[in-house]
Amino acid sequence: MWYSFQAQSTTPTISLSSAPANSRIQLFSGSCLALTSLSCSSTGTLAASGLIIGNIYFVRIYTDPNASGTFNICIIDPPPPPSNDDC
């Protein structure tokens, strides 16, 4: 399965829930004809870094061809720093 998203932060976390065993997440940048793999994870969670805010990124979810089931994908941006941290 392929998904795309527009980066809202430089360090989002991509996570899967209820995914079949051995599911993998792979993050790509570029265009459909010239994708570059940025990182991958077999743990169900991928902590991305170095993304450019506003750019479109592609996420590939894959697993054992014999696996079946459904899953949820979530892209979480880190919370913004406090606007006033001066005590």
Asked if residue 27 lies in contact with residue 61, where contact means CB atoms within 8 angstroms, the answer is: no
- Six token digits for residue 20: 């079949």
Residue 85: per-residue pLDDT: 64
Question: 30 phi and psi, to 5 degrees?
Answer: 110, -160
Percent of the chain topping pLDDT 70: 97
| pLDDT band at residue 58 under the 50/70/90 scheme | very high
Residue 4: per-residue pLDDT: 94
pLDDT, tens digit, 9 for 90 and up, residues 9-22: 999 999 988 777 77
- State how far the Cα of 32 lies from the Cα of 25, in Å rounded to an integer: 17
Q: What is the value of pTM for the model shown?
A: 0.83
